[in-house]
Amino acid sequence: MRALNTSASLDPYIAAMLSEGEPPLLDRATVPEAREEARRRFRPIDRTVPVLDYVADRTVTIERTDIAVRIYVPMATRPMPMLLFIHGGGFVLGDLDTHDGICRHLAAGAGAIVVAVHYRRAPEHPFPAAVGDCAAVGAWIEAQSEFLGGDAQRIAIVGDSAGGTLAIAVVLQAVGVPIKALALVYPVTDYPDDRRESYRAFATGFGLTRQMMMTFWQLYAPDRQNEAAPLRHGDLKRLPPTLVVTASHDILRDEGEAFAIKTMAAGVETQHKRVDGVTHGFLHLVGAVPAADTAMKMITEWLRDTLSSHSGNCENA
């Protein structure tokens, strides 16, 4: 893994965004206000969102809990691979709309049915409620694969930011579900740690701040942080082939890369890519930032290749 290069230039579009100031996400706003700001801030800016066969909202009811999902079906030959997409937002923010553009690109680029899950969020529902919701929808995807036009033997999980945390947890507890690939984009893998260089270098001024992460963890798992942090998990060898994408100017960069090192040491087939010149959340900027376009293409090609060439080393039995 590469050391920090503080002289590396930010993409001009991202630099202009940062010059407008950081959004009032939780440090200066209530949870409802922050959620509304997140919806406004992360609406797709891409005017070239691919055309899909269809997109549909559904409600999955599991053990008296209603879980909203959005299903994206590309124009591809059935049965297709299936992706469970778990959105980020610090376990508190984010929803199906904030990540709609990302899901459309994943579906078209990977040639896969994407099922995005809107799990119950903190602080109303702290750890492990979100993990349970995502795992339940993962099992639902496998059970409904034929109806959806998907292949139950080619299921992957994709998570960005806090969604990466949940994606890892789902794989580790998804007994019986044949998950073949795991893609993590600028994932949260540990609670805040100022000993990490990226935590010191990017604590403020780069979008996601140290104070935001402190608040997110306090709301999500105030008394169970060791249990909730994937980097603290002792046994990762059951993970399937894993892709970890990090951002050069992201407070979470070092913990994401530490997770990639740990999976490699556990014998997991792991690929890591650090994207230069970008900050946390850059995948929302497909169509505006060339590095985001390149990263999306890399992620979807990796998913295509992995789901077609691997029988998978993770049967979760």
| HSE-CB of 53 using CA atoms within 13 angstroms | 16
Give me the amino acid identity at 42.
F
79 preceded by cis ω (within 30°)? yes
Q: Is residue 250 among the annotated active site residues? A: yes
**Spatial CA neighbour of 130 closest among 99, 86, 97:** 86
Query: Which is catalytic among the residues 105, 250, 272, 284?
Result: 250
Query: Which is catalytic among the residues 145, 161, 198, 248?
Result: 161
Query: Which is catalytic among the residues 105, 118, 249, 280?
Result: 280
Q: Is residue 27 among the annotated active site residues? A: no
Query: Contact, 56 vs 115, CB < 8 A?
Result: no
148 vs 78: CA distance, rounded Å? 9
Q: 181: how many CB neighbours lie within 10 A of its CB? A: 27
113 vs 74: CA distance, rounded Å? 7
Q: Which token pair is 20?
A: 């407008």
272 vs 208: CA distance, rounded Å? 21
Angle at 58 between CA 52 and CA 61, to 5 degrees: 150
Residues belonging to the active site: 161, 250, 280
